[in-house]
Amino acid sequence: MSDISKICTKCNLPGEFYPRGRKRWCKECCKAYFRDWYRKNPKKVKAIAKRKWAKPGHREKVSKYRKQYRKRGGLVHEREKINQRAYKYMRNYGITQTDYDQLYVAHDGRCAICRQIETRIKNSRVKWIAVDHDHKTNEVRGLLCHQCNVGIGSFKDDVELLEAAVRYLRGTQRFKS
């Protein structure tokens, strides 16, 4: 548990401190200091990492951990990825994983524009179909494949630009020199 009644000696404001009260700076000041220190001292950071890996037994410890992880089959990692995806949907679009699943079923697992199934592969797996939303109202419109989602994003969600592109493709609007 952190103590909020303390005053930071760096920013002179009450803040959240690390447990056991060993630091006189609040968490935010500590993070900012170390972030700047790491950025300003890349050679020292590299030397520290080198010393860490040179310690006897460190490589074996890391190797043992990796073997245990592989033995579990990466199931924990998969669960974490699903939880991260659910958190991203809630944070970015205000929908739950259940809402996404309902949209997926309603779209029959296909893109709302081209009606194709997502085929883009990342890390040797087919990517999840993207959530499309209005950037002004943040309201979810549907699910799109990567190409359609990027295409709409390239036109900045502007209907007039998209209509001009359609006229251009049909040959009714050409640039005249």
String of DSSP letters for 106-175: HTTTB-TTT-PBP--EETTEEPPPEEEE-TTT--EEEEE-HHHHHHHHHTTT-HHHHHHHHHHHHTSS--
The mean pLDDT value for 126-139 works out to 88
Right CATH number for 75-170 from 3.40.50.1220, 1.10.10.10, 3.30.70.260, 3.40.1800.10? Answer: 3.40.1800.10
pLDDT bin (cut points 50, 70, 90) of residue 144 is very high
Q: What angle do CA 118, 99, 127 make, to 5 degrees?
A: 20
Check residue 2 and give its pLDDT: 46
pLDDT bin (cut points 50, 70, 90) of residue 99 is very high
Give this prediction's pTM. 0.53
CA–CA separation, 63 vs 172, rounded Å?
Answer: 64
Q: What confidence tens digit (pLDDT) does each residue in 54-75 have?
A: 888 888 888 888 888 777 766 6
Of all residues in the chain, the percent with pLDDT exceeding 90 is 32
Location of each CATH 3.40.1800.10 domain in the chain: 75-170
Amino acid, res. 87: Y
